[in-house]
Structure 1
Amino acid sequence: MTAPTNVYPLPGTLFPLADSLSSGLLLHRGGKVLYANKAMSRLSGFTPAELIEKDFWAVYPASVGNTIRERGQARLEGEHAVGRYETLLLTKSGDERWVELVVSHEEIQGKRTIVCNFIDVTERKRAEAAQKQAQQLLTQIIDADPVPTLVINARHTVTHWNRACEQVIGLKASELIGTCNQWSAFYPEKRPIMADLIVSGQIEDMLRLYGGKKLRRSPTIEGAYEAEDFFPTMGEKGRWLYFTAAPLRNALGEVIGAIETLQDISERKSAETELLRMHADLEAKVARRTEQLQRAKASLEEDIARREQAEEELLRRYAELTELNVRLQDTRQQLVQSEKMASIGQLAAGVAHEINNPIGYVNSNIRSLKGYVAQLLGVVSCYEEGEAALPPEHRARIEVAKKAADFDYLRDDIHQLLGESEEGTNRVRQIVQDLRDFSRAETTQDWQAADLHHGLDSTLNIASNEIKYRADVVREYGALPLVECLPSQLNQVFMNLFVNAAQAMPDGRRGTITVRTGRDGEMVWIEVADDGQGIPPDVLDKVFDPFFTTKPIGKGTGLGLSLSYGIVKKHRGNISASSTPGAGTRFRITLPVHQEASAGAQE
């Protein structure tokens, strides 16, 4: 291969070899480019001839150019300089690419010449950045998880120990991350935890160590195991923990670590123990009752005259036992429902918080984008004003491009698109804020002067998905003062009434829900009316009883209106219902504007 005349002469046999290299090769002396091979041309986007015409330092972005120049000058002067490092390369298109630069110097024709090899590592750097970002995201997700969670890698080193884990176990993440001392959080002596056994694949040891701890395979996670155990060294009296460990795999399916979640079930275990004690007491009572029945039978055989008295005693005691069982079952159902409602509230607040951050970024970016678009269109307008000075062939090409892109339509439509996007993100932010306000637990027992219209609107916003397919909402608000109340509890009452009204609409017919408010002296009133199926007169006076519901099985617990009744009474108010079958139902709440000083004691 013969070198071009504008390329620094190398031995002729070296040109084919240099052009066959997959890495970019460039020779320069004092910034004057002497030679560039084909790989360097592909990497930079410049032809070899263009590279030879450029100053060597011009192929680097300004941010690194001075450093490269100083190292190159030092190398030409015979000083020691770094010979292998990663830096940025500026391509002909203006893009920046990461390269690994290997630099040496050679004596060519008696002059010190710098030999540069450029290896494109852009994709590797992008992959490293993506992996780092994913790792940071995983760390944030795990740390924000309310479930105590720890993660170890294939070397059994702790990589994650979230805040919930710190609270339950009592050890800080800084004490464990980067170590293999996870055992110290659970046991007085060193031994593997379940996550260690998952990483090592020691299933037999798992059976040996956890076989008597209700060990079982996870029904939902492949390769995961669950167990529960008592840890006497935790806390003052020890703790019962339910834990699940699952393998973490790479793209090849190889185990690269394990994740373990914990749940403090000490209260549940105490409740189970208490339930067993109560069961034993109940059995003892039944045994005593049986003994009494046997004595009664003997008495009956001895004296027929006492038979009626013994039968009455037996029936009375049987009724007591039946009533006791019914009360026990009702109490259990109410506890389960309360736990479910509390869990749903916590989950809703957590989801709202996680959504709020990215929506904030999107909303901010849309506002910035609107400004950028306005500036860009201003620049385009300036260009259009100068079109008349362009040659006819240039104006013709511009006109063709505008028509192909339907430029006038794009210019008008882009503002509408940005406006609709901003409106959409604002809508999402409002829904998230309403959800957070609704699900926020009362942190104090202080009463607040609240705007009931705001509470009604935010609750309607949250319940819109339940309502919008069934009914239209009509607001007939009167003038209301601020009302002294517990806002989140009243929002729960409003939610129950709105959902009940929506569910009262018959299938196939869209109804109307009317919300009215007004003031009567020192009292305010709120009405929620629907034009649904109505409530039969014979059950209307039972709607506020616990566990009473007219809904099908699985559609309601019968606790909503009972809880609402209790909340309104706590506010020294009143709630009533009126209904006409086939025409709809109306609930009316009356509340005092101000609470007496003793209201807090009612809680």
Structure 2
Amino acid sequence: MLRGANVAIVGGGRFCFKLLRFFIEQDLAPQKPTIIGVADIRPDAAGMVYARSQGIYTATDYSELCRFDQLQVILEITNDPDLAAAIQKIKPKHVHLIDHFQARYLWDTIQVESLQLSVSQAFQENKHDPLAVERLFQQSFECFEKIICRRNNRSREIELALIENQRTQSQIIQGSTIPTFVINKAHIVTHWNKALEKMSGWSSEEIVGTNRQWAPFWERERPTMADVILDQTDEAEIRSLYGSQWRASALIEGACEAEIFFPQVGEEGRWLWFTAAPLKLPDGTIVGAIETLWDKTEDKKAEEERERLREQYVKSEEKYRSLFNNDPNPIFIVARDTLQVLDINDRVRECYGYGRGELEGMSFLQLGTPQDGDIRNGIVQLPIGQSILFSKRRHYRKNGTPFFVNINVSDARYGESDVLIATTTDITETVEKETQLIQASKMTTLGVMAAGMAHEINQPLNVIQICADFFLKMLDKGQSIQEDDLRAMAHDISANVERASGIIKHVRDFARQSEVLKSKINLNDPIADVFKVLGHQIKNHRIEMILDFAPDLPPIMGDHNRLEQVFINLVSNAIDAMDEKAEQPEHKSMTKRLRIRTYAENANVVAAVEDNGIGMSPEVQKKLFEPFFTTKQVGKGTGLGVSISYGIIKDYDGRIDIESRAGEGTVFILTFPVAGR
């Protein structure tokens, strides 16, 4: 191939230097090749320096050699195992490539041919000189011995390198934690590593050297993925073996991968993900295949568990949503930190008139009265895992219509967030009925106290009447009235008109229907107004009245009108209790005494209503707050006064306690929280 050819050499080292000197200095014409260029990445390499000294073209990029039109052969004599394949891709088609393996054989051949030519010429010249002929043969034998020795050494180096390479590959495969096996071109297993022994339950002694690589995985003989790769099986047949569970590898050219459940592997079968790839020589020839396997059973179980949990979550979500939407009361999911509405059930839309999109992002507090600050305070201070009830609070529908609700707020988890679940119950009808009942109780109280109020009004009317009679008498006599007398009587008339007007106004205010509203009030004020209604009755019953009001009493949240009714009920009951005791013979001469005391205690305001009347037994005390329970005679009481009072006190977050002993008297103790606490 080299005889008379135009040759370019890739690799300018010492071997190149020897070749160049041989081709240039030896007389091989007409068989001598023409060296047209040398390439090496090292410009100072021995062959590159010698080539330049002989006027031969040199380059550091071997691709430049391919530009010579007269080029016929490229001689690659480097130690790079991948360079020949790279040159093969870029060289012109008509150019032959001799790689460094072939070049070594070629060098030996050239030397033998050169020696043969030299010996032949010398033999012709010295054929009559036996000693000279003997020397020629000795030189030839020495030359052949060097070539044979060099080839043997090279073969031994290659063999040792291959053995070391195989040993290294075997150690890598055996030491890998990934189950792996290798088959050669004859489908015989050459490697079956420890990880695969452990996973499959089959030892390497049972498998290596056989073609039974299928046995640990299948009941009957069939190709493994490594066999499929080695035989370059078409897609149709692969599909018949693995169905739709296989695919070409996106990472390794010519490799395939699949995931299948193998019932033969392990006690209960295993899900295995496996990849098989071809083993190729540098020229692309397939000489075997390697297959790696990953046990995906736990991942598969985890995936199935995730799917089961997802389905369970979906069902739970559907169940939750069904319960959530079918609850008879409106339910709000509220962000704990911002109090913004996150979710609502269908009842919210029906009751409030808002759509989900309209409420999401709105503060829950916007549904109620802006002044109702204790809801915000109660929610902010709500302990984790606890709930709180806000009773009789006013909310507004989308169209502005007010209605009354009880609000129950509970701390909860909603997904990954801390939230509040607020449930509202429409109690408008109940509040209206309570208001009507309270109003009826007021009217009953006013009816009972009518005589006393008439007396209170008659007193100023009598003063006015006396003054009017005096004016008429003086006019009939034709006498004048002194200016001082006239001014004094005018003042009396004005003062008594104002007094009567005040009594009538108070009765009218008391009689009006009050709403469940709260404002800051001084508890002394509704107690003091009680005596505008009951003052005359207390005098008529000869009761010693003691009022012990604390000055500078902190305000509470309540309604003046309703609290006045509470104290009217308690004072009226106290009057009846003292009268009942005074009717007993042994207590005819008793001094009836009613004491009302107010004071602040810790964060509360307290009012104590104490009488020395008939008192109550423990049995009566247990039933006292039940509607329609009374100890009075028929026609003298409805049994609603204390029950109504109890409900009013609860509306203002208050508490009522009783201290009583039969025959000694009773103390009603009312406790209210200070406003803002």
Given the two structures, how large is their TM-score scaled by the length of structure 2?
Answer: 0.30
Report the structure number with the largest CA radius of gyration.
2
The structure with more helix, counted as a fraction of residues: 1
Given the two structures, how large is their TM-score scaled by the length of structure 1?
Answer: 0.34
